[in-house]
């Protein structure tokens, strides 16, 4: 079951609920502890593990998602296909595949690692801070989407040129260009030179 709010809880095997925890990491991405999700995003932010997914269709178009209006962090802005945080002990790859299915109702036909990027992006609207060690993934999508409306307001497939136009006029997440730029070598390898990424 998707968990949207920062204050949401996950069920344990004993039927009780517990706060969502994130993995805290050092500058090398080594796990050094855990923190509750909202606390990790309070200023100045605690460096934690995250992931970002970029999925493309057979024409080399990127699937963007507009984040649901009810999200506690960056509601209504456009961003990459899927992003989130692994649970403690969960691999970033497994978390990326899990959340893509939870948010968009589809599993990637292909999903590969595309490196990591570390950033610190304060969100001026919420005051929260994205202090993240982000694992990047690129892949192909070959099935119809079934977005969860609690997670996703809208979706759009865009070419590189269409993304540039949309980015100039629509609000995007604070982290979007950082993660896209870091993933570009893998994106180009996946989509080929004619796609223009």
- Among all residues, which ones are annotated catalytic? 83, 132
Phi and psi at 171, nearest 5°, equal -75, 135
In 3-state terms, what secondary structure has residue 52? strand
DSSP E strand stretches across the chain = 9-11, 17-19, 21-25, 31-36, 48-56, 62-67, 78-79, 82-84, 110-122, 129-140, 152-158
Burial (0-12, 13-18, 19+ Cβ within 10 Å), 23 = buried
């Amino acid at each position: 079951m998707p968990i949207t709010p920062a204050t949401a809880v996950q069920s344990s095997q004993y039927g009780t609920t517990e706060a969502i925890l994130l993995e805290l990491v050092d500058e090398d991405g080594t796990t050094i502890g855990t923190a509750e999700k909202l606390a990790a995003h309070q200023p100045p932010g605690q460096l934690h593990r995250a992931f970002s997914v970029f999925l493309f269709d057979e024409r080399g178009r990127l699937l963007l998602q507009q984040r649901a209006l009810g999200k506690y962090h960056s509601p209504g802005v456009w961003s990459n296909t899927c992003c989130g945080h692994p649970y403690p002990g969960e691999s970033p790859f497994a978390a990326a595949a899990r959340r893509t299915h939870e948010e968009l109702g589809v599993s990637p036909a292909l999903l590969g690692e595309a490196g990591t990027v570390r950033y610190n992006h304060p969100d001026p609207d919420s005051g929260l801070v994205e202090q993240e060690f982000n694992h990047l993934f690129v892949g192909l999508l070959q099935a119809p989407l079934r977005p969860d409306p609690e997670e996703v307001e809208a979706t759009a497939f865009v070419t590189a040129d269409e993304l540039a136009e949309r980015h100039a006029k629509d609000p995007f997440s604070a982290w979007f260009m950082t993660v896209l730029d870091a993933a570009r070598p893998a994106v180009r390898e996946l989509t080929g030179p004619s796609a223009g990424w």
